[in-house]
Amino acid sequence: MDDLTLAARAAAKPEPLPKKERMKLLRGAMPEQDAMARARNFAEVNLGYTEQLAIMEADRCLQCPKPYCIEGCPVAVNIPNFIRLLGEGNVKGAADSLLGDNALPCVTGRVCPQETQCEQVCLRAKTGTPVAIGYLERFVADWAITHTDSFERATPAPSGKKVAIVGSGPAGLTTAGELTKRGHKVTIFEAFHAAGGVLIYGIPEFRLPKDIVQKEVDRLVDAGVEIRPNSIIGKTYTLPELRAEFDAVFVAVGAGLPVFMNVPGENLKGVYSANEYLTRVNLMGAYNPDSDTPVLHGQRVAVVGGGNVAMDSVRTARRLGAAESVCVYRRSRTELPARIEEVHHAEQEGVRFEFLTAPVEVLGDEKGWVSGLKCVRMELGEPDASGRRRPVEIPGSEFVFPCDMVVVAIGTRSNPLLTATSPELRINKWGYIEIDDNLQTSMDGVFAGGDIVRGAATVILAMGDGKKAAQNIDAYLRGELAAPAAVEASAAH
Amino acid sequence: MHPIVSKEQLSPNVTRLVVVAPRIAEIRQPGQFVIVRRGPGAERIPLTIADVDKAAGTISLVIQAIGKSTHELTSLSVGDAITDIAGPLGTPTHLMAGGHAVCVGGGVGTAVAYPIAQALSRNGVKVTSVIGGRSKDWVIYEDELRAVGEVIVCTDDGSYGRPGFVTEALKELCEAGGIDEVFAIGPVPMMRACSELTRPYAIKTTVSLNSIMIDGTGMCGGCRVAIDGKTQYACCDGPEFDGHKVDFRMLADRLNTYREFEQAALERWTSSHSGAAGMTLAEAGQPASAEAH
């Protein structure tokens, strides 16, 4: 067996393995923290590939002449290229390739739903298990972030143009990185005191360590991006004010309003929106007992919803000491929108799932605290507009789940603070910003992307928008972009 | 960073900090507030903007020291700086033009009522202020309010002004008639009492709600209040609402969510700052989360 280190690979320069040999290699498992231990701490669950695991996994890639994985990636990372370089022991080359395509690879390597994107279309998935693209991405990205001295600071010729970005989440950070590479001066306006958006207030430490996000942000700041915290567009400044001061604006504020269930008892003490619960724990650090910001430590916790935010909440509750932490979802396991790995990890950590169950009321005690969640059982009926089978209530199936905390994680919607003060900006009836194919809004020089356009989605889709926005903003600044296609008028405003 | 340029003790537990925040000073409107985070690791807390000096680029924060976070803020000195101030937040006060308004301020709520009274007066409204405290030492913003209209001071112990609660003085004004709007700002029981008092007179009554908040932009939903049975967010739909439609019981209840935590945090803080003028929550007579007012 080869000495499977990067240095040995780089020195030996072995011939590429024949395809037949590659096909024999099995997908390497991600080393993880023990499930029982991690169910009570906030340290990262996935520990990351070792050099040996990474090289063995890189050897599994068939280097397809027509790589479907690239098409499967919303930011079109040249996956076979960085994997080939990694397999040759050239991790620096792999990192250069990856960073050229993806501004936040440490993040996407951890939180992307690879199973429905690059890995789903990997040729090896047809006959077995796909190449662990996400794990390899993370390995290379983590190497890059711990070897910043190996990278020369790029100094693109200044374009003399200034761009404002509203929101420092995945879309905003991606656009900032791409525009900076092209020589534009970028200023990001962030409402919170720290940059990162959902990456710091939403996604928990155990899935995406905050120091990793900070390093990604630091990399952008080093490249010349200015971040203005505590700047709420719509309050501190308006969008028209920004537009007057900057040559272009990219609006990437996310979908910043929680959706509640609209059932009785929802304002009892102990009912949180997932936004509030996760922000207290993550951004404000309430998982630390010495934190100034309090958070309730429920003993029996019901989390309503089946997406990644629900998984983050239900696993957080477990870590904060819940004896029972239950995910209540109105459809069945098959329809769960969360990443498979998150569901799997949650179950390993002792989280229980109540499928085909919908809450109808939050019950409270005489002191105004949550005492239970009244639910009904559901069955799946005909497919609805989304193509998923619609859950239908089973009459007479009501039951009460006794609990002392409820977290509502059924989605978010658009926050009107920015749009309310931008009368020229056209929005649809749900309050999302309308854009054309080039991500241009109805305001000249104002682009938008991420959740404020598409509704609550994923980190990587927001990053895809960010990348596309940067290309179009760059073209706009060079006077090469067609005027916005007429965005259809709507009843909004 | 927002340097503190002046500090003044207004009452035994109320401090005024004047801090540099030019943009907020420039655009803030009456009724708006800021979210303040003292420094790394500190809580984000909502505080009303009591006054501004546009020329100097400063805003006045009036802080009642009840919990750990407010004690830490009021322990800062001139020359220290507050790391984060975000705002101005909230919907500005809807100001009528002309007529007669009564501004009722209880305790630190008087500092919240002041910018409203000031703006009303500028709008040609006759302003009568009714302000109260447990004794003379606890009355704040009297001189500032006198500059914009008549002031009736009430003290619980009768040590200054007329003895008794602000509600008694308000009742007399209501009976005398001619009042177009009442603004009542202070502890929840006081705002509830004022709203109940004006209801039979059908006088529009506006209250400013001091819910628990994190972001102040509508993102967390923690500040939700029930207005006429409908859930609204104090941070962006408010903080001012029609007092006749507010579910004060729910508000008071939700403000108690972290009471035990706050008590423990305050005890830890006072024991590590012996000599600091710490009070228990019970002594302060209201939940620590009522810090906005």
Residue A175 phi, psi dihedral angles, 5° rounding: -60, -40
Bridge partners of A361, per DSSP, are: A374
Residues A432/A452, Cβ–Cβ less than 8 Å: yes
Beta strands in A177-263 (DSSP E): 185-189, 226-228, 248-251, 257-258
pLDDT given for residue B265 in this prediction: 86
Whether A230 and B84 lie within 8 Å, measured CB to CB: yes
- pLDDT above 70 (res B274): no
Q: How far apart are CA A379 and CA A382, in angstroms?
A: 10
- pLDDT above 50 (res B253): yes
Question: Worst-scoring range by mean pLDDT, A360-364, B33-37, B139-143, B285-289?
Answer: B285-289
pLDDT given for residue B289 in this prediction: 39
Which residues on A lie below 8 Å from B24 (Cβ)? Answer: 236
Residue A405 phi, psi dihedral angles, 5° rounding: -155, 145
SS3 breakdown of chain A: % helix, strand, coil, rounded to 5? 35, 15, 45
pLDDT given for residue A485 in this prediction: 64
User: Mean of the pLDDT values across residues B130-142?
Assistant: 93
Whether A296 and B257 lie within 8 Å, measured CB to CB: yes
* Nearest-neighbour CA in chain B from A330: distance (Å): 23
Nearest partner of B266 among A287, A281, A294, judged by Cα: A294
Among all chains, which residue has been given the structure tokens 């050229």? A100
Whether A292 and B42 lie within 8 Å, measured CB to CB: yes
Of A229, A273, A276, nearest to B84 by CB-CB distance is A229
User: Mean of the pLDDT values across residues A23-48?
Assistant: 93
Which residues on B lie below 8 Å from A291 (Cβ)? Answer: 41
Task: Work out the angle between the directed axes of helices A133-146 and A79-87 (0-180°, nearest 10).
Answer: 70
Which residues on B lie below 8 Å from A273 (Cβ)? Answer: 220-222
Output the pTM of the full model: 0.91
Q: What is the ipTM of this complex?
A: 0.90
Residues A198/A283, Cβ–Cβ less than 8 Å: no
pLDDT given for residue B180 in this prediction: 96
Confidence of residue A486 (pLDDT cuts 50, 70, 90): low
Which residues on B lie below 8 Å from A269 (Cβ)? Answer: 253-254, 256-257
Q: What angle do CA A58, A63, A65 make, to 5 degrees?
A: 165
User: Mean of the pLDDT values across residues A10-28?
Assistant: 90
Return mean pLDDT, chain A: 92
Interchain contact B252–A (C-beta under 8 A)? no
Whether A230 and B261 lie within 8 Å, measured CB to CB: no
Q: How far apart are CA B176 and CA A209, in angstroms?
A: 64
Whether B43 and A415 lie within 8 Å, measured CB to CB: no
Nearest partner of A70 among A119, A31, A22, A9, judged by Cα: A119
pLDDT given for residue A151 in this prediction: 85
What is the pairing mode between strands B150-155 and B126-133? parallel
pLDDT tens per residue, range A75-85: 999 999 999 99
> Which residue type, as a one-letter code, is found at position A195?
A
Task: Tell me the two tokens of residue B92.
Answer: 């500005």
> Which residue type, as a one-letter code, is found at position A106?
C
* Nearest-neighbour CA in chain B from A258: distance (Å): 6
Nearest partner of A313 among A331, A332, A298, judged by Cα: A298
Residues A105/A73, Cβ–Cβ less than 8 Å: no
* Nearest-neighbour CA in chain A from B216: distance (Å): 10
> Which H or E run includes A361?
strand A357-364
User: Mean of the pLDDT values across residues A331-349?
Assistant: 92
User: Mean of the pLDDT values across residues A57-74?
Assistant: 94
* Nearest-neighbour CA in chain A from B115: distance (Å): 19
- pLDDT above 60 (res A154): yes
Task: Work out the angle between the directed axes of helices B188-198 and B166-176 (0-180°, nearest 10).
Answer: 20
- pLDDT above 50 (res B202): yes
> Which H or E run includes A418?
helix A416-420
Among all chains, which residue has been given the structure tokens 């922000």? A279
Q: How far apart are CA B79 and CA A371, in angstroms?
A: 49
Q: How far apart are CA A388 and CA A382, in angstroms?
A: 8
Interchain contact B204–A (C-beta under 8 A)? no
- pLDDT above 50 (res B272): yes
Nearest partner of A199 among A215, A188, A210, A191, judged by Cα: A210
* Nearest-neighbour CA in chain A from B90: distance (Å): 9
Interchain contact B85–A (C-beta under 8 A)? yes
pLDDT given for residue B292 in this prediction: 39
Residues A251/A448, Cβ–Cβ less than 8 Å: yes
Which residues on B lie below 8 Å from A296 (Cβ)? Answer: 257
Residues A376/A360, Cβ–Cβ less than 8 Å: yes
- pLDDT above 60 (res B276): no
Of B86, B226, B256, nearest to A230 by CB-CB distance is B86
Task: Tell me the two tokens of residue A18.
Answer: 């024949």
* Nearest-neighbour CA in chain A from B203: distance (Å): 29
Task: Tell me the two tokens of residue A462.
Answer: 């927001």
pLDDT tens per residue, range B56-65: 999 999 999 9
Q: How far apart are CA A344 and CA A305, in angstroms?
A: 16
pLDDT tens per residue, range A407-446: 999 999 999 999 989 999 999 999 999 999 999 999 999 9
Whether A276 and B87 lie within 8 Å, measured CB to CB: no
Q: How far apart are CA B86 and CA B106, in angstroms?
A: 26
> Which H or E run includes A100?
helix A91-101
What is the pairing mode between strands B240-242 and B204-208? antiparallel
Q: Measuring CA to CA, how many Å separate A69 from each of A74, A107, A242, B94? A: 10, 18, 39, 56
Among all chains, which residue has been given the structure tokens 């099995």? A26
pLDDT tens per residue, range A91-121: 999 999 999 999 899 999 998 989 899 999 9
Q: How far apart are CA B85 and CA B79, in angstroms?
A: 16
B residues 227-246 closer than 8 Å to A (CB)? 231, 236
Whether B258 and A275 lie within 8 Å, measured CB to CB: no
- pLDDT above 60 (res A279): yes
Q: How far apart are CA A248 and CA A438, in angstroms?
A: 14
Interchain contact B42–A (C-beta under 8 A)? yes
Residues B191/B166, Cβ–Cβ less than 8 Å: no
- pLDDT above 60 (res B79): yes
Which residues on A lie below 8 Å from B91 (Cβ)? Answer: none
pLDDT given for residue A155 in this prediction: 84
> Which H or E run includes A21?
helix A19-24
Q: How far apart are CA B77 and CA A371, in angstroms?
A: 45
Nearest partner of A331 among A360, A308, A358, A350, judged by Cα: A358
* Nearest-neighbour CA in chain B from A257: distance (Å): 5
Whether A292 and B69 lie within 8 Å, measured CB to CB: yes
Confidence of residue A290 (pLDDT cuts 50, 70, 90): confident
Q: How far apart are CA A30 and CA B206, in angstroms?
A: 58
Residues B259/B288, Cβ–Cβ less than 8 Å: yes
Q: How far apart are CA A192 and CA A231, in angstroms?
A: 7
* Nearest-neighbour CA in chain B from A256: distance (Å): 5
Whether A236 and B87 lie within 8 Å, measured CB to CB: yes
- pLDDT above 90 (res A401): yes
Nearest partner of A354 among A346, A362, A363, judged by Cα: A346
User: Mean of the pLDDT values across residues B135-140?
Assistant: 92
- pLDDT above 80 (res A493): no
Confidence of residue A490 (pLDDT cuts 50, 70, 90): very low
Task: Work out the angle between the directed axes of helices A274-281 and A308-319 (0-180°, nearest 10).
Answer: 50
Of B23, B42, B68, nearest to A236 by CB-CB distance is B23
Whether B253 and A269 lie within 8 Å, measured CB to CB: yes
pLDDT tens per residue, range B25-52: 999 999 999 999 999 999 999 999 999 9
- pLDDT above 70 (res B119): yes
Whether A285 and B41 lie within 8 Å, measured CB to CB: yes
pLDDT tens per residue, range A359-381: 999 999 999 999 999 999 999 98
Nearest partner of B70 among B36, B31, B40, B114, judged by Cα: B36
